[in-house]
Chains A and B, each alone.
Chain A
Amino acid sequence: MQWFDAIIQGVLLGGMYAQYALGMALMFGVMRIVNIAHGDVMILLSLIAVSLAGVLPVGNVGLIVVIVPIAVAVGWVLQKFILNRVVGADPLPSLIATFGLSIALQNLMLEVWSADTRSLPNSGVASASFQIGPFYVGLLPVIVLICAFVLTGGLDAVLRWTRFGRGLRAAAADTEAAAMTGVDPKRIIGGMGSIWGAFLGAMVLGVAQAVGLRIDPGLGILFGHLVFLLVLATRPEGIMARKK
C-alpha cells in the first residue's frame, strides 16, 4: 500500500516538474536552444510575485493575473536581445550565453532577495489536503497537476490546430523548407519535440524520485537521474518517440 502512495505522490511531484519542463520543451523544440537560465527566470518571477504580494492586496489569484504579463515581458526581452542572437546550428553560443545569464541572475537574486526561503501569505490552499480512501492528497499539488495537464493540452492544441502552431512545427523540422512554403522564418524561429513527451517524462521523474525516497531517503533524487540515464541508454530518441 505504501508503494501505491509513493506513486501518487510521485505523479503529483511530476505535475510540478511538468510545468517546469513545458517551457523548456517548447524552447528546445522551437529553437533547438537549451536555456540554462530557464529555472532562474522561473525563480526570478516567483520572487517578484512574493515581493508584490507584500505590496499589492490582490490575493494569490490576483497575483497570477499580475505576474503573467511580467513573465511575457521578461520572455520577450530574453528572446529579442539574447536568444535571437545565438540561435543556430552550433549549440555552443546559446549554451554559453544562457549559462552566463544564469550565473548573473542567480547572484543578482541573491543580492536583491538574499538566500532566505520566502513564501506567499498562506491562504489555506498550501496546507489543505483531502482523503481518497486510505490516501491523503495535498490540494495544492493536485491544482498544480491539473494546471500542468491543462497547459500541456493547450499547448499541444495550439501546435496541432492553429496556423501559428503548424508554421512553428514546420520551421522546427526544416527552417529553409518552411520558408520555401511561405512561412516567414523571422516571425517563427525554428517546431516541436513532443509536448506530451515532456509531460510524461516529468511524471516518470516524479514517480522515480518518490519511489526512491521510499526505499532510502538518500536515494530519491539519484533514482530520477538513473531513470534518465536508463532512458538514454535504451531509448535515446525519447520516451514518446515513434520507432521508424
Chain B
Amino acid sequence: MSTIKNLHVSRATPSSRIAMSLGAIVLVGLVTMPWWATSGNIRWAIELCCYIAIAQMWNLLAGYAGLVSVGQQAFIGVSGYMLFVLAQNFGVNPFLAVPLSLIAPAILAVPTYFLLKRLDGPYFAIGTWVVAEAVRLGISNIDYLNAGAGLTLRVMTQYSQHEREVAFVILCALLLLTTIGGSYWLLRSRHGLALTAMRDNPKAAASQGVNVGKLRFYIFVAAAVGTGFAGSIYYMAQLRITPAAGFDPFWASMSIFIVMVGGIGAIEGAIIGALIYFFADRLFGEYGSAYLIVLGLLTLIIALYARGGVWGLLQKLGDHPWFPVRRKLIVEE
C-alpha cells in the first residue's frame, strides 16, 4: 500500500503554463512593436487590444454577474469625451489624461447601476441602452462639446509618430493587464467562487452568504472603467470623437458577438472571439452587408445550438484551460 507523502492544492496546468508564457511573449512583443512593426500593424494591434478589453468587460458582466448590458458604449463615449476635454481644453498631457478620463465612466456607472439594479434580465438590458442613448443625445446637445460635430485631438501633433506609438503600445499593454489580468485575479480570488456560484444560481448564492447586490455593483463599476479605458485609448488613436461614433450601439453588438462566438463565461472565450472577429473583419469586411448577414446568422446559430461558443467546443475536445480558475488536489505517492 502506498503512502501519501505530500498533498497540495494546485491551479496551474500544463496548458496554463504554456498560455502564461505565450501571454508574456505577446506582451513583450506588443510593447516592442514600435521598433519592429509598421505603423499600420500598430494601429491594428491597438484596435485588437481595445476589442479584447471591451469584450472581456462585457463577458464579466453578462457571463458572471448576470448583468446583460447593451449600453456599454455609454462608458466608451464618456471616457473618450473626458479625455478630449482634459487634453484639448484643459491642457493636460494626453497620456496622463487617459487614466484621469476613467473618472467619467466610474461616475456615470454609479447612478446608472442604482437606477437599473431593480430591473431584471431583459428590462435591465433595455435600461442600459436607454441610458447610453440619453447620454449620447445629451452630449449631442452640448455646445461646449461641439454638439453633434464632435471634437478633434489637435494636441497630439506635438508628439512625433514614434513617441505616440511607444505611448500607445504601453497603454495597450496596461489595458490588457488590467482587463484580462484583473478578471483573472478576480476569478481566482475568494470572490471568484462567489461569482461562479452567482452565475450558476443567484438565489442559491445569496442564501449561501454571497452579497450578490454588492458584488454586482462592484463589477458593474469595474467593467465601466475597464470599457472606458479601452474607449479612451481607441479614440485617442482615432484623434477624433463624435457622439455618433463614441456612443455607437455597434460597440454593444460587437461585444455580444465576440463573447458569444468565443464563449461566454470564460476569459479564453473573449480572447478567441476578439481574434475571430478582428480577422474576419479584416478578411471579409469589404463584403459589407453580406458579411454582416453571416455574422448575424452565426450569432443566432450559436445562441440556438452552441451556447458555449468556440471555447465551449474546444473544451469538449479536452480540458486545457489557459486561465484555470478551479483548484485541483495534487496527491504525491
Contact = CB atoms under 8 A, between A and B. Distances in A.
B119 A232 contact: yes
Interface in A88-126: 90-97, 99-108, 110-111
Interface string B286-322: 0011101101111111111001000000000000000
Contact of B299 (A85, A100, A218, A226): A100
A102 B296 contact: yes
A219 to B, nearest CB: 6
Main secondary structure of the interface of B (DSSP, over half): helix
Contacts of A99: 70, 253, 256, 299
B130 A86 contact: no
A34 B138 contact: no
B134 A229 contact: yes
A110 B73 CA distance: 24
Interface string A60-74: 000000000000000
A146 interface: no
Contact of A222 (B70, B119, B134, B260): B134
Nearest to A217: B141
Contacts of A28: 122
B125 A91 contact: yes
Contact of B141 (A108, A111, A216): A216
Residue among A90, A107, A219, A221 facing the most chain B CB atoms (10 A cut-off): A107
A104 B137 contact: no
Given A28-B122, A236-B119, A103 B68 contact: no
A34 B302 CA distance: 18
- Chain B, interface size: which category? 35 or more
Nearest to B253: A103
B284 to A, nearest CB: 13
A233 B115 contact: yes
Contacts, number: 116
Contacts of B120: 91
Interface in B201-247: none
Given A225-B130, A236-B119, A97 B300 contact: yes
B107 to A, nearest CB: 16
A196 interface: no
- Chain A, interface size: which category? 35 or more
B145 interface: no
B299 A107 contact: no
Residue among A28, A100, A111, A226 facing the most chain B CB atoms (10 A cut-off): A100
A228 interface: yes
A104 B125 contact: no
B273 interface: no
A97 to B, nearest CB: 4
A33 B259 CA distance: 21
B116 interface: yes
B289 A110 contact: yes
Contact of A96 (B116, B141, B147, B256): B256
B130 A111 contact: no
A96 B303 contact: yes
A97 B303 contact: yes
Given A34-B126, A91-B122, A104-B292, A82 B297 contact: no
Interface string B121-153: 110011100110110011011000001000000
B8 interface: no
A169 interface: no
Given A91-B121, A96-B299, A222 B137 contact: yes
Given A82-B300, A229-B134, A107 B290 contact: yes
16 contacts: A32-B121, A85-B304, A91-B121, A96-B256, A99-B70, A99-B253, A100-B257, A100-B295, A100-B302, A101-B296, A103-B299, A104-B295, A108-B289, A225-B134, A229-B130, A229-B134
Q: Which 7 A-B pairs have the closest CB atoms?
A: A104-B296, A100-B299, A91-B121, A103-B296, A100-B300, A97-B303, A34-B122
Given A104-B300, A225-B137, 10 more contacts: A93-B303, A95-B68, A96-B256, A96-B302, A104-B293, A104-B295, A106-B292, A111-B289, A111-B290, A111-B293
